Chains A and B, each alone.
Chain A
Amino acid sequence: MNIIGKPRRRVDGRAKATGQTKFADDIMLPRMVHCKLLRSTAPHARIVRIDAARARAHPGVLLILDGRDFPIPYGILPVSQDEHALAVDRVRFVGDPVAAVIARDELTAFEALDLIDVEYEPLRTFAAPEDSLQHDDPRIHEYGDRGNIHKLVSLEFGDVGRALADADKVFEDTFFYQGNTHLPIEQHAAVAAKDPDGKLVLWSSTQTPHYVHRALAKALDMPAAHIRVVATPNGGGFGGKSDPFNHEIVIAKAAWLLDRPVKICLTREEVFYCHRGRHPVLMRMKTGVNDDGTITGMEVQTVLDGGAYGSYGVASTFYTGALQTVTYHIPAYRFQGCRVFTNKPPCGPKRGHGTPQSRFGQEIQLDKIADALGLDPADLRLRIVEKPETLTANYLRLGTIGLAECIRRVTRAADWSSKHRRLPFGRGVGLACSSYLSGAGLPIYWNDMPHSGVQLKLDRSGGVTAFCGATEIGQGSDDVLVACVAEVLGIDPIDIRAVTGDTDLTPVDLGSYSSRVTLMMGNAAIQAAERARDLLADSVSRKLAVPKDRLVFADRRVFDTENPSVGIAFAEAVQLAEAAFGTIGTTGSYTPPRSAARFKGGGVGPSPTYSYSAAIVEVDVDPATGWIHVPRVWIAHDIGRALNPTLVRGQVEGSVYMALGEALMEEQIFRRLPPRLSHALVHKFPSILEYKSPTTMDMPEVFTELIEEPDPRGPFGAKEVGQGPLLPVMPAVANAVFDAVGVRIDEVPTTPEKILKALEAKAAGKPARYGPSHFPDVPWPEPLQVPPPWEGGDGKARGPERATPQVIQS
Chain B
Amino acid sequence: MMRLPHFRFHAPRTVQEAADLLASASPGEAMIVAGGTDLLPNMKRRQQVPSTLIGLRGIAELRAISNGNASATLRVAPSPSRGDGLTIGASVTLSALVGDERVRRAYTGLWQAASQVATPLLRNMGTIGGNLCLDTRCNYYDQNYEWRKAIDFCMKKDDRSPERAALPGRAALQVCWVATSSPRCLAVSSSDTAPMLMALGASVDLTSAAGVRSIPLADLYRNDGIHYLTRRPDEILTSIRVPGADGWKSTYWKLRRRGSFDFPVLSVAAAAKMRGETVEAARIVLGAVASRPVASENAAAALVGRRLTDDIIAEAAELAAVPSRPMDNTDFTLVWRKRVTRDFVSYALRELRGDETTDLRRRLHAWHVVPGV
Contacts and interface: CB of A to CB of B under 8 A. Distances in A.
B1 A631 contact: no
Tell which of B3, B6, B175, B261 has the most Cβ of chain A within 10 Å. Answer: B3
A539 interface: no
Contact of A690 (B1, B142, B180): B142
Contacts of B257: 665, 692
Contacts of A578: none
A627 B363 CA distance: 8
B149 interface: yes
Given A677-B171, A684-B139, A697-B366, A625 B343 contact: yes
Given A686-B147, A694-B258, A677 B175 contact: yes
B80 to A, nearest CB: 33
Contacts of B2: 267
Contacts of B6: 107
Tell which of A685, A695, A697, A752 has the most Cβ of chain B within 10 Å. Answer: A697
B42 to A, nearest CB: 12
Nearest to A694: B258
B333 interface: yes
A107 B363 contact: no
A684 B177 CA distance: 13
Interface string A564-596: 000000000000000000000000000000000
Contacts of A187: 1
Nearest to B333: A753
B187 to A, nearest CB: 14
B38 to A, nearest CB: 12
Interface of A: 25, 39, 41-42, 94, 106-107, 110, 113-114, 187, 265, 267, 269, 620, 622, 624-627, 629, 631, 665, 671, 673-674, 676-678, 680, 682-687, 689-690, 692, 694-695, 697-701, 751-753, 756
Tell which of B5, B142, B363, B364 has the most Cβ of chain A within 10 Å. Answer: B363
A123 to B, nearest CB: 16
B332 A695 contact: no
Nearest to A630: B366
A697 B3 contact: no
Q: Is the interface of B mostly helix, strand, loop or mixed?
A: loop
B328 to A, nearest CB: 10
Interface size of B as a range = 35 or more
A678 B257 CA distance: 30
A697 B261 contact: yes
Contacts of B258: 665, 692, 694-695, 698
B261 A752 contact: no
A685 B328 CA distance: 13
B118 to A, nearest CB: 10
B144 interface: yes
Interface in B160-206: 169-171, 175, 177, 180
A676 B181 CA distance: 13
Nearest to B152: A678
Contacts of A620: 363
A695 B261 contact: yes
B317 to A, nearest CB: 11
Given A106-B3, A269-B146, A685-B139, A697 B368 contact: yes
29 contacts: A25-B1, A107-B6, A110-B3, A114-B145, A267-B144, A624-B343, A625-B339, A629-B362, A629-B364, A629-B366, A671-B139, A676-B169, A677-B171, A680-B151, A680-B152, A682-B151, A685-B143, A686-B143, A689-B261, A689-B262, A690-B139, A690-B142, A694-B260, A695-B258, A698-B258, A752-B332, A752-B340, A753-B332, A753-B336
Contacts of B262: 689, 692
A757 B225 CA distance: 31
A640 B206 CA distance: 68
A267 B41 CA distance: 13
B369 interface: yes
A698 B366 contact: yes
Interface in B79-98: none
A589 to B, nearest CB: 40
Given A678-B152, A692-B331, A697 B139 contact: no
Tell which of A624, A631, A674, A678 has the most Cβ of chain B within 10 Å. Answer: A678
Contacts of B260: 694-695, 697-698
Tell which of A267, A677, A680, A686 has the most Cβ of chain B within 10 Å. Answer: A677
A697 B369 contact: yes
A94 B149 CA distance: 10
Contacts of B126: none
B150 interface: yes
B259 interface: yes
Tell which of A106, A265, A665, A680 has the most Cβ of chain B within 10 Å. Answer: A680
Contacts of A624: 343
B259 A752 contact: no
